[in-house]
Structure 1
Amino acid sequence: MGAPSGEVIVTGGLGFIGSHLVDAYLEAGHRVTIIDSSTGAVIDGKDYDRDPRCTVIRQRVEDYLAAGGDFAGADRVIHAASYVGPASILSRAGRLGHDIIGSTAPVIDACIGAGTPMCLFSSAEVYGRSGLLDEKDDIVVPTHYNTRIEYAIAKTLAEAMVTNSRQHGLRGIVIRPFNVAGARQSRAGGFVMPTFVQQALAGKPITVFAGGEQVRAFIAASDLTRFLIEHMDAALDSDDTVINVGNPANAITIMGLAHQVKKLLGSASPIVGVDGRSVHGPHYAEAESFHKIPALRAATSLGWQPRIALDELILSTAAYYRAREDRRAVNAPL
């Protein structure tokens, strides 16, 4: 089931998903090397610095590799480093393709050179349409090239690079996560659950974009990390290179999420409709997948199932932000 204890490299290991992966691998008895430029960090990493099983390299992975670093001796590389979030990506418009491919290509090359298996984190944004979305479905590429579409195209190309690099000896898989949420996720990226939770805790208006009829299926970060801890080896040996990881049982409209957060937290916050561009600027856009539900054919065939229900996920996120501030969102709108 799980990987043997050894060294795991996590790029973007100080970010939201990356740090949950680091914690899970450490708990499972692995040594972990984090390579992270700190651009999207949600934690400072000082606890990892003090852990003798963990090494933190604070630079971009492409710079680390260009300076002679390698992945020799690592048991696996989890490439989670990326700009992410509908608000965070806006500043990289016109550069996202370079950012994503510029880090992915050298990681693939280094994994091939070291004989190290890798997992690339992609995005459910690649589908470009609404519905129940299966890994075997065709991808739609709209031609109004806003920043979110640039992001989706770049992630799609990175997926193709991993898939085609199997011809050159790469053992690699791609994860398409669907709306991961939980502790540490920052509202600074434009993510809806930490935004609603922090607004409700502060008694501020809960701001719903685009009428709130968007449907999202939220998965706990712990469910996502458990897939890699317990099933990555089997996934590498399977016929599926691209694997959806999500929780269709947690599907809810964004307006429904706002009401559920308000109810669970006993908040007096009003729920108000606003234009996302008034919050994040004129280039903000909603996702092409207005209704986005994962089909889990590949993941469940390996024996994995999501466990954390939506209410538990909301409450755990709230518990985290009752105890501490959102370190990335000091200057972000609330």
Structure 2
Amino acid sequence: MTVVVTGGLGFIGSHLVDAYLAAGHRVRVIDSCVGAVVDGEDYDADPRCTVIRESIEDYLDAGNGFAGTDRVVHTASHVGPASILARTGQLGNDIVGSAARVIEACLAADVPLCLFSSAEVYGRSGMLDEKDSIVVPTTYNTRIEYAIGKTLTEAMVINSRHRGLRAIVIRPFNVAGARQSRAGGFVMPTFVQQALADKPITVFATGDQVRAFVAASDLTRFVVEHMDGALGSDDVIFNVGNPDNAITVMELAERVKRLLGSASEIVRVDGRSVHGPHYAEAESFRKVPVLRAASTLGWHPEIDLDQLIMMTADYYRTRADKRGAHAPL
């Protein structure tokens, strides 16, 4: 196949590119490089991979499209509780605008689409199923703007199926692993890098927030191996996560410290003191996926939490977080 991955130099996107190349496919990467975690030089050297370093909007404005490709995976987006803050008031338009362009281009070329949404759309705590109602809180901070934008793209995909669009939506739950940068405000690479440097491990709020971490490799395996099955199923939206890896943020800090043999002190801090006054915690205090739709297709996560912590640590033992060079540590 020939696969288009928007945002293919970012964290999730680059893992998808690697997985498709490993499976023997050709890949076209379209990335503005705003959130890139890899420079793409290895992809440039691979004859099966083409890297186009521009936004998806500029790519389409130049008259390009998706004709001759076999599928599009749209991961390009501002992401991360810290990274999105710079786009306050513009973030919704960013998310919806790019998704709209991708949807129309897929319809024009009759190419199936996998669109990445977010577990943030649920807007509440609990064991979260794809069939559950979505709650929209009225505290309109940047994080809510992000969630509403992603919710609208889901509705656009589902409604466009009536126009002939073949598509699925992924709601990932706390994806982590090698290459993820602390620049986005992501907790796993932040804790791991702090522990490796014997710096204080900074736990925001009470530390009782529950998150269920899934390895990027497990996520990409779902997309690469099960997208065809998902397109042929009765479901459109798929939670992809690992409920067995559910843990409080404080317990995660303690586990990272223990596994890495770190001398770091664990401290509670206000996230606003690190990322500024507009930073907000997620509305989902306890965010754990129900894997009803994905498990029906035969997919199950394989990487446990300790493995995931060590995979992240092994990566950053030998590499700098270039994107996070100016992020708090």
Q: Could you tell me how far apart the structure 2 residues matched to 1:230 and 1:16 are?
A: 19
Paired AA for residue 187 in structure 1: R
Q: CA deviation at 1:26?
A: 0.1
Q: CA deviation at 1:229?
A: 1.1
Answering whether residue 17 of structure 2 is matched by residue 26 of structure 1, we say no
Match for residue 295 of structure 2?
A: 300
Answering whether residue 140 of structure 2 is matched by residue 145 of structure 1, we say yes
Answering whether residue 252 of structure 2 is matched by residue 257 of structure 1, we say yes
Answering whether residue 4 of structure 2 is matched by residue 9 of structure 1, we say yes
Paired AA for residue 183 in structure 1: A
Q: Could you tell me how far apart the structure 2 residues matched to 1:103 and 1:192 are?
A: 27
When the two structures are superposed, what TM-score results if normalisation uses the length of structure 2?
Answer: 1.00
Q: Could you tell me how far apart the structure 1 residues matched to 2:172 and 2:57 are?
A: 23
Q: CA deviation at 1:66?
A: 1.3
1:161-240 to 2 correspondences below 5 Å: 161-240=156-235
Q: Could you tell me how far apart the structure 2 residues matched to 1:56 and 1:253 are?
A: 39
Give 3-state SS (helix, strand or coil) of 1:317's partner.
helix
Q: CA deviation at 1:38?
A: 0.1
Residue among 314, 318, 325 paired with 1:323? 318
Give 3-state SS (helix, strand or coil) of 1:212's partner.
coil
Q: Which runs of 5+ in 1 are unaligned?
A: 1-5
Answering whether residue 88 of structure 2 is matched by residue 93 of structure 1, we say yes
Q: CA deviation at 1:190?
A: 0.0
Q: CA deviation at 1:286?
A: 0.1
Output one character per residue of 1:210-242: Cα deviation in whole Å (capped at 9) or x when no partner. Answer: 110000000000000000111000000111111
Match for residue 127 of structure 2?
A: 132
- 4+ long deviations beyond 4 Å: none
Q: Which runs of 5+ in 2 are unaligned?
A: none
Residue among 100, 117, 125 paired with 1:105? 100
Q: Could you tell me how far apart the structure 2 residues matched to 1:114 and 1:100 are?
A: 22
Give 3-state SS (helix, strand or coil) of 2:131's partner.
coil
Match for residue 63 of structure 2?
A: 68
Give 3-state SS (helix, strand or coil) of 2:194's partner.
helix
Q: Could you tell me how far apart the structure 1 residues matched to 2:57 and 2:285 are?
A: 34
Q: CA deviation at 1:63?
A: 1.2
Answering whether residue 304 of structure 2 is matched by residue 312 of structure 1, we say no
Q: CA deviation at 1:330?
A: 0.7
Q: Could you tell me how far apart the structure 1 residues matched to 2:306 and 2:139 are?
A: 36
Answering whether residue 248 of structure 2 is matched by residue 279 of structure 1, we say no
Answering whether residue 43 of structure 2 is matched by residue 48 of structure 1, we say yes
Give 3-state SS (helix, strand or coil) of 2:303's partner.
coil
Give 3-state SS (helix, strand or coil) of 2:288's partner.
strand
Give 3-state SS (helix, strand or coil) of 1:69's partner.
coil
Q: CA deviation at 1:31?
A: 0.2
Q: Could you tell me how far apart the structure 1 residues matched to 2:97 and 2:147 are?
A: 15
**What RMSD in Å do the two structures reach over aligned CA positions?**
0.4
Give 3-state SS (helix, strand or coil) of 2:20's partner.
helix
Match for residue 3 of structure 1?
A: none
Q: Could you tell me how far apart the structure 1 residues matched to 2:38 and 2:265 are?
A: 30
Q: Could you tell me how far apart the structure 2 residues matched to 1:273 and 1:97 are?
A: 31
When the two structures are superposed, what TM-score results if normalisation uses the length of structure 1?
Answer: 0.98
1:73-88 to 2 correspondences below 5 Å: 73-88=68-83
Give 3-state SS (helix, strand or coil) of 1:316's partner.
helix
Q: Could you tell me how far apart the structure 2 residues matched to 1:59 and 1:239 are?
A: 35
Give 3-state SS (helix, strand or coil) of 1:120's partner.
strand
Output one character per residue of 1:192-227: Cα deviation in whole Å (capped at 9) or x when no partner. Answer: 000000000000000000110000000000000000
Output one character per residue of 1:93-117: Cα deviation in whole Å (capped at 9) or x when no partner. Answer: 0001110011000100010111100
Match for residue 112 of structure 2?
A: 117
Q: Could you tell me how far apart the structure 1 residues matched to 2:214 and 2:230 are?
A: 19
